[in-house]
Amino acid sequence: MSVVAKKSVENTKNLQQDSSSPESAGLKKNIGLSEAITMVVGVVIGSGIFFKSSSVFDYAGTPLLGILAWIIGGIVTIASALTVTEIATAIPKTGGVFAYLKELYGEKWAFLFGWVQSIIYVPGVTAALSIVFVTQATFFVPLTETQQKLLAIFMIFFIITINVISTKLGSKVQFISTIAKLIPIVIIIAFGLIQGNAGALQAVTATAKSTTGIAGFGAAILGTLWAYDGWIGVGNMAGELKNPGKDLPKSIILGLSMIIVIYVLINLAIINIIPVDQVIASGTPASDAAIVLFGNGGGALIAAGIMISIFGALNGYLMTGVRVPFAMAQEKLFPCSKTLGKINEKFETPLNTFIFVGILSALYVLSGSFELLTNLAMFVMWLFFIMTVAGIFILRKKFNHIPRSYKVPMYPLVPIVGIAGGVYIIGSTLVTDTFNALFGLVITLIGLPVYLQIKKSYLKNN
């Protein structure tokens, strides 16, 4: 047997061992297509749709290109999700992208992904969500910039306290917020399209020329990706579907298509209620639209619903996000592993990791803004998402002999769409937001000497 063949057999055994673990074997295949679509919609729709309209229309330059950015962002997301799902079914290991990158590219690349997710993405998203939460709170109570930042930091550690004391309590918060976030969306779409008189249709069909160019349009698409964020976890439900080969791609296509329609409709509704230039100037476009429709009283109800939605999203990101550095620390692949990989004996939760993420998030709150943090987080993560999508070509060559229930349709066209869209977005961001893009790259590259030092220390102590 050749060396390549031996490695292939070993890889197959490793994957099969993981897929036959008690954790995997215990999953019940009781999720049908309708439930799967609901899960996709529930995972992806978060806070971005309430706040990203301003920056997307600003970067796009015209209402038509703004709406088109939401559509293209959704198409890139669908193509990427369909591709990564095949990787997920072929590599049934816990850890998501971390596990995929480790198998396809090696431990070093997996570490870099976990590094930026722990240092930038999780605390950056947490900070961004806390900032938009307090921004929305100013609807009810006027707050200075300093007061907003202090309240944002308080909210972070308040939610951390909830999750440290009881994981079940954190889960209940998620359930309530999932229902709450759909209410303001439906109301704004329905009343905005019917009662609005700002002329959305005329604005979108106008032949105005964009002044931002191709790079600006790419930045607009990057802005939409914050609202589509969450798609990377869609493939995780494959093991619980009754018919994953047919239902998984259908749920992704139908679910994300529904989300694209929802996002397009709510943006059309908003610019049908408020002129586009006012939307661009607003920090809370959805709430402002609600005030125009229903006055301060009705606007307050919508604002409250949006705040509950953001609170739930913040809870969800913290609840799941801390597991990344915690898991890496337990594998001795993160600085201060003994401390961060420790479970608190009293609460049986990763208290130290929560504190670590909370401190980083607080620093980001003090130094950044919602737009800065979300764009930085999306830029850095999409570097690795592109690698993951491109990993399908390595997978087809390296693990093609492994039987699996799902293969990406229209291969290789669908993966190429995901890769091309991601590369365009990354390139555009380097042009339009060079400093922050380079900052993200520097933080990523800092992970290399950190990784080498961790491995050196490990070898020394073993």
Give per-residue pLDDT as tens, 217-231: 888 888 888 788 777
DSSP string computed for 324-343: HHHHHHHTT-STTHHHHTPP
CATH number of 31-461: 1.20.1740.10
Counted residue by residue, the chain has a size of: 462
Amino acid at 296: N
The DSSP call for residue 236 is: G
Confidence of residue 169 (pLDDT cuts 50, 70, 90): low
The confidence score (pLDDT) of residue 415 equals 95
Q: How confident is the model at residue 334 (pLDDT cuts 50, 70, 90)?
A: confident
**Distance of CA 155 to CAs 103, 146, 148, 236, Å?**
38, 14, 10, 29
Which pLDDT does position 34 carry in this prediction? 76
Query: Cα 420 vs. chain centroid, distance in angstroms?
Result: 19
Task: Calculate the dihedral angle through the C-alpha atoms of 26, 27, 29, 32, rounding to the nearest 10 degrees.
Answer: 160
Q: How far is CA 432 from the centre of its chain?
A: 21
Please report, for the chain, the start and end positions of each structural domain, with discontinuous segments joined by +.
31-461
Average pLDDT of 159-175? 69
Residue-level pLDDT at 150: 93
Cα–Cα distance measured from residue 212 to residue 218, given in angstroms and rounded to the nearest whole number:
10
pLDDT at 30 over 90: no
pLDDT of residue 72: 92
Q: How far apart are CA 228 and CA 69, in angstroms?
A: 12
- On whether the CB atoms of residues 302 and 286 are closer than 8 A, the answer is yes
Could you report the per-residue pLDDT of 291-306, keeping only the tens digit for each? 888 888 877 887 888 7
The pTM for the full model equals 0.77
Q: What is the 3-class SS of 103-165, one letter each residue?
A: HHCCHHHHHHHHHHHHHHHHHHHHHHHHHHHHHHHCCCCCCCHHHHHHHHHHHHHHHHHHHHH
373-398 confidence digits (pLDDT tens): 777 778 888 889 999 999 999 998 88
Q: Is the peptide bond before 412 cis (omega within 30 degrees of 0)?
A: yes
